[in-house]
Amino acid sequence: MIEVEGIIVSEMDYKDTSKIIGIMTKTHGLISCIAKGAKRIKSPLRSTTGKLTYGKFQILYKEDKLSTLIEVDVINIFKKIKTDIVCISYASFLVDLAGQVMKQNNNPEIYDLLISGLLKIDDGFDPSVITNIIELKYLDYLGVMPIIDSCAVCGRTNNIATISVRKGGYLCNYCRNDETLVDEKAIKLLRMFYYVDISKITKLDISQTVKNEIDKFLDEYYDDYTGLYLKSKKFLKDLNKIV
């Protein structure tokens, strides 16, 4: 029997009355559990085994096998996120992304970043910006971090003019050829995104133009360097076209 802090990242029905849930944890990675009787109306697990439930889980743990959930002490169900279609879409993408990153690198910081980001989104901070911050930080754990401290070609730290997916990061005026220029604020913010402590963010005031430039860079960078394809990301892009 173990007690672990974690967040439910997936759930599916199992037989008539039970569920199988996926719990992302800081100490044990991803754990698959059967929640017996969780679909019964009077079950104490009924209200605590939904996706995005963040809590402490009592588990009869079997490494690399299906474990059994015994009890949940809820920390946060992210109620505000779940009442907003945009927020729930970003949150769903983030838990999917965190799960994929954790499969390649079991660093506990991956979990910490996810929880910090979800808490900020639930507090009303811009979900697109929080998502971009986490996307950028996760590239480090995937081993494909772009160069954002100097020019990716020559190493200069001054006269940075733009960012390039093809060349892997910042470009200075001397090394830029036909690359499109981006807003100077986008260049500064990208670096700030990497170094910022999400839990200490108190204000986000970023123009839509700058947000679009950073988001476009990260989308293309993920496509070219990570090999990850998430259906939740496609849904998010489609949603942003209509909201």
With a pLDDT cut of 70, the percent of the chain lying above it is: 100
Residues facing 56 on adjacent strands: 5, 73
Supply the pTM of this predicted model: 0.92
Instruction: Compute the average pLDDT of residues 141-148.
Output: 97
Per-residue pLDDT tens over the stretch 15-38: 999 999 999 999 999 999 999 999
Cβ distance 205 to 185 under 8 Å?
Answer: no
In this predicted structure, the answer to whether residue 243 has a pLDDT above a threshold of 70 is: no
Mean residue pLDDT across the chain: 94
What sign has the CA pseudo-torsion 224, 197, 49, 237?
negative
**pLDDT of res. 236:** 85
* Range(s) of the chain covered by CATH 2.40.50.140: 2-77
Architecture of the CATH domain 80-242: Up-down Bundle (1.20)
In this predicted structure, the answer to whether residue 47 has a pLDDT above a threshold of 70 is: yes
* Range(s) of the chain covered by CATH 1.20.1440.120: 80-242
Does the domain formed by 2-77 have CATH 3.40.50.2300?
A: no
**pLDDT of res. 229:** 83
Instruction: Compute the average pLDDT of residues 117-135.
Output: 97
